[in-house]
Amino acid sequence: MTCEKPELTEPVREGRGRLSVGELGEISFEGMGSVVIETCPIKDKRLGKAWKDECYRILLAAEREDTVIEVY
């Protein structure tokens, strides 16, 4: 989960790709079967003060045993 909108900076090809998570950093991955970015509305008023109107869930589904995920 993140408050900054993730975007694919490298298209997913052969299970490899890269996501940018705003100013927070980047995620690169290998061995993924699917990558899904979900937008989740913030309904809690207290959480909304810190995370504004939406947060984002990144779902990476591993396809192989030798999956690699790097966050930087």
Q: What HEC string does the chain produce? A: CECCCEEEEEEEECCEEEEEECCCEEEEEECEEEEEEEEEECCCHHHHHHHCCEEEEEEEEECCCCCEEEEC
> Residue 41's Cα: distance from chain center in Å?
16
The pLDDT, as a whole number, for residue 61 is 93
Q: What's the one-letter identity of residue 40?
A: C
* pLDDT (tens place) for every residue of the chain, 72 residues total: 998 999 999 888 888 999 999 999 999 999 998 899 999 999 988 888 888 889 999 999 998 889 999 999
Question: For the whole model, what pTM was predicted?
Answer: 0.83
Beta strand 32-41 with 6-13: parallel, antiparallel or unpaired? unpaired
